[in-house]
Amino acid sequence: MKVVREYAEAMAARIDQSLLEAEGILSDVLNENLLYASIFPGSNYDIQLVVADEDYDRALSILNATIVEEETPESE
């Protein structure tokens, strides 16, 4: 398993997990019940979204494409 992304909030991890699931990639959210994830960002207690090693590159591409779409301003 490889960590695709780390989060301070479980909801954000679950949203990304659903994006991957829609593309047929199984994933798991680790540490989502730890209180310290939101108190100490960057700590070893971050909430992590993990995928199988063979799905890592594709999962990263999907999540990165989603970020680009969200940041692109709409045409008027």
Higher pLDDT: 70 or 27? It is 27
Is 29:13 a contact under the CB 8 Å cutoff? yes
Sequence ranges of the domains in the chain:
2-71
pLDDT in tens, 36-53: 545 565 555 688 999 999
- pTM, two decimals, is 0.76
User: Is 3.40.1350 the CATH number for 2-71?
Assistant: no
